[in-house]
């Protein structure tokens, strides 16, 4: 006997305080599955071009997948909207306890679509498949305080950064331990005067044998063993050893203090502080003056090496500060790094230095509260700051989103992955650097690798599979979809391509083109140290990779999907007249 995948959606209009329960068209479920796929289908359908991301007409979706709460690993949900940082499509994911409880609370619904703007701050309370709109008495509180206010529920909320509509504010859950982080979904939530989504319900419980079989496969996989042994903190060591660790505002590729903030430091401190030996070092909790922090790779890379800070506790405290404010620490850390470099270049009437936690802490507070002129500007991101003060070649961005993790000057295919990411610079859509850094790839090989990973991630984020557990889904989730009785229209790789192409159509309608899939000026400048000292991304090679990518995708030379590609993917009945298409795809060379 099959379970039944969710086939309803809860629509909430905060302006009229109305809640409606609607059926999801069967064709949409077959073609877009759930999670990211259904989210972008609704976003494309609901929004007009040039909709203000912070206006009442923008849509914010809280989406789960057809097997949410049943999968092995950590459950996740997707926040999907038009980004106030990039002006384009945004999907951002968070784990923790909230997604599974939300799945149970939604019952037969696959998500919540929120539009409008409340006249006063409110929260949504989800119970037994229904949503109630209630006053939000925690408006003004940070994410930890807000979470603690609801001891009997799971919460996704915004902190001061979201309330103040910082362009890279997060939606936080589990007292700031998990975030739908990148691109500013928290700012959209704050603009709607929506403080929190509160879920009460029992997580789904079924398919235990299937879940355990996949969990065992994951435990025995290389990814599972790596994560259990080291967590994501070990990425600091990998990036440093290979010379792709962004250091002191993307000037260097290695950090001399990496050992003090990487996995060795975590393990040593775990022993010193009597942390249980059987726990994952990546989940090691640190008490700081700003609150509890869980050091992860992105924290150490961006707030540690990126800011030239080698004090483990100081880095953890900066991470906790971002968590409480509800700031995307990747964008926030990069923006602080830009401010330091801009002050060194005499572009600002301020003096900041790398390696100074007090400077970083002060800037993070100014960004979240927007109480100073500089903080207010930095709250809009690096591109906005560079437009006002100069220095657009100091810290790299793609589509106005600050780069994470790995420096492409050590593996040029990563530059292509960043440039073509549908939500702006992102290292989770495709991570070719993990292979290319040990090989020598042609532009065509790089393009094929990036396209394949992007499509596969797209379908896995429809289910929504934990990123790391997804590595063992050899059939991209077909067995799980069959278990819940969801028949799909076409093979799953093609569905992933369809979804990726629809996000591109959304972005093209917003005016995004080849000019936005650019090589950031900062990456054209050579690294100043490490194994890749003197290396920059070659512009001609980058353009060759981009041409190969467009040809692989069936898009035109301008980055627009071609008519025949749109037809092949069944999107010809979806695309509207406001979305320009290429007449023919770029030919493969």
> How far is C-alpha 587 from the geometric centre of its chain's CA atoms?
32
What SS3 class is residue 125?
Answer: strand
Maximum Cα–Cα distance across the chain: 69
What SS3 class is residue 156?
Answer: strand
Does the domain at residues 8-208 carry the CATH identifier 3.30.930.10?
A: no
d(CA 135, CA 123): 6
| φ, ψ of residue 181 in degrees (nearest 5) | -95, -50
Does the domain at residues 228-402 carry the CATH identifier 1.10.569.10?
A: yes
What is the β-pairing status of strands 109-115 and 397-398?
Answer: unpaired
For 32-59, letters b (16+ CB in 10 Å) and e give: bbbbbbbbbbbbbebbeeebebbebebb
Contact 393, 249 (CB under 8 A): no
| pLDDT value of position 279 | 55
| pLDDT value of position 264 | 86
Q: Which residue is it, tokens 């859950």?
A: 173
pLDDT tens for the chain, 589 residues long, are 346 789 999 999 999 999 999 999 999 999 999 999 999 999 999 999 999 999 999 999 999 999 999 999 889 999 999 999 999 999 999 999 999 999 999 999 999 999 999 999 999 999 999 999 999 999 999 999 999 999 999 999 999 999 999 999 999 999 999 999 999 999 999 999 999 999 999 999 899 999 999 999 999 998 888 877 777 888 999 999 999 999 999 999 999 999 999 988 888 877 676 555 545 555 677 788 877 777 789 999 999 999 999 999 999 999 999 999 999 999 999 999 999 999 999 999 999 999 999 999 999 999 999 999 999 999 999 999 999 999 999 999 999 999 998 999 988 999 999 999 999 999 999 999 888 888 889 999 999 999 999 999 999 999 999 988 998 999 999 999 999 999 998 899 999 999 999 999 999 999 999 999 999 999 999 999 889 999 999 999 999 999 999 999 999 999 999 999 999 999 999 999 999 999 999 998 8
Give the DSSP H or E segment for 115.
Answer: strand 109-115
CB count in 10 Å sphere of residue 363: 24
| pLDDT value of position 1 | 34
| pLDDT value of position 2 | 46
Segments of the chain assigned to CATH 1.10.569.10: 228-402
Rounded to two decimals, the pTM is 0.96
For 463-479, letters b (16+ CB in 10 Å) and e give: bbbbbbbbbbbeebbee
Contact 181, 170 (CB under 8 A): yes
| pLDDT value of position 285 | 75
* Dihedral sign, Cα of residue 560, residue 40, residue 490, residue 69: positive
CA-based nearest residue to 204, from 103, 78, 96, 349:
103
Segments of the chain assigned to CATH 1.10.599.10: 409-568
| φ, ψ of residue 513 in degrees (nearest 5) | -145, -165
- Of 1.10.599.10, 1.10.600.10, 1.20.120.920, 3.40.50.300, the CATH number of 409-568 is 1.10.599.10
Contact 209, 70 (CB under 8 A): no
Segments of the chain assigned to CATH 3.60.9.10: 8-208
């Amino acid at each position: 006997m099959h379970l039944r995948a969710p086939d309803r959606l809860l629509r909430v209009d905060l302006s009229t305080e109305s809640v409606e329960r609607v059926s999801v068209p069967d064709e949409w479920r077959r073609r877009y599955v759930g999670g990211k796929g259904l989210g972008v289908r609704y976003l494309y359908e609901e929004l007009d071009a040039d909709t203000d991301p912070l206006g009442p007409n923008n849509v914010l979706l809280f989406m789960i997948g057809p097997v949410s709460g049943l999968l092995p690993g950590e459950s996740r949900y997707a926040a999907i909207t038009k980004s106030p940082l990039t002006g384009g499509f945004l999907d951002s994911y968070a784990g923790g306890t909230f997604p599974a409880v939300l799945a149970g609370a939604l019952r037969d619904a696959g998500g919540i679509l929120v539009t409008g703007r409340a006249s006063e701050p409110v929260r949504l309370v989800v119970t037994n498949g229904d949503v109630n709109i209630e006053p939000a008495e925690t408006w003004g509180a940070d994410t930890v305080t807000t979470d603690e206010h609801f001891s009997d529920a799971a919460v996704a909320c915004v902190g001061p950064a979201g309330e103040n509509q910082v362009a890279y504010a997060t939606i936080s859950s589990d007292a700031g331990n998990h975030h739908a982080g990148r691109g500013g979904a928290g700012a959209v939530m704050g603009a709607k005067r929506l403080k929190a989504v509160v879920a009460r319900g029992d997580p789904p419980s079924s398919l235990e044998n299937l879940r355990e079989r996949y969990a065992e496969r994951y435990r025995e996989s290389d990814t599972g063993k790596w994560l259990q042994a080291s967590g994501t903190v070990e990425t600091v060591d990998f990036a440093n050893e290979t010379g792709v660790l962004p250091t002191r505002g993307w000037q260097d590729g290695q950090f001399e203090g990496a050992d003090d903030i990487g996995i060795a430091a975590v393990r040593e401190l775990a022993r010193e502080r009597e942390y249980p030996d059987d726990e994952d070092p990546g989940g090691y909790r640190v008490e700081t003056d700003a609150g509890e922090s869980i050091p992860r790779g992105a924290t150490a890379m961006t707030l540690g090496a990126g800011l030239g800070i080698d004090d483990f506790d100081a880095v953890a405290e900066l991470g906790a500060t971002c968590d409480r404010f509800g700031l995307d620490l990747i964008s926030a850390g990069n923006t602080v790094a830009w401010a330091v470099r801009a002050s060194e270049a005499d572009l600002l009437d301020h003096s900041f230095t790398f390696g100074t936690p007090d400077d970083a802490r002060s800037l993070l507070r100014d960004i979240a509260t927007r109480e100073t002129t500089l903080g207010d500007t930095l709250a809009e991101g690096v591109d906005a700051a560079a437009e006002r003060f100069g220095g657009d070649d100091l810290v790299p961005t793609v589509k106005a989103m600050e780069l994470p993790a790995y420096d492409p000057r050590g593996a040029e295919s990563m530059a292509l992955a960043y440039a073509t990411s549908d939500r702006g610079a992102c290292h989770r859509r495709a991570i070719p650097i993990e292979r290319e850094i040990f090989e020598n790839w042609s532009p065509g090989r790089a393009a094929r690798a990036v396209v394949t990973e992007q499509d596969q991630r797209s379908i896995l984020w429809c289910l929504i599979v934990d990123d790391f557990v997804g590595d063992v889904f050899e059939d991209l989730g077909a067995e799980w979809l069959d278990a819940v009785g969801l028949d799909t229209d076409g093979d799953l790789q093609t569905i992933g391509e369809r979804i990726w192409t629809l996000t591109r159509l959304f972005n093209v309608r917003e005016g995004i083109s080849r000019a936005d899939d650019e090589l950031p000026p900062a990456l054209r400048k050579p690294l100043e140290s490490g194994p890749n000292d003197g290396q920059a991304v070659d512009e001609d090679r980058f353009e060759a990779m981009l041409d190969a990518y467009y040809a692989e995708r069936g898009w035109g030379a301008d980055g627009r999907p071609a008519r025949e590609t749109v037809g092949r993917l069944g999107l010809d009945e979806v695309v509207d007249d406001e979305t320009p298409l290429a007449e023919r795809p770029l030919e493969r060379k």
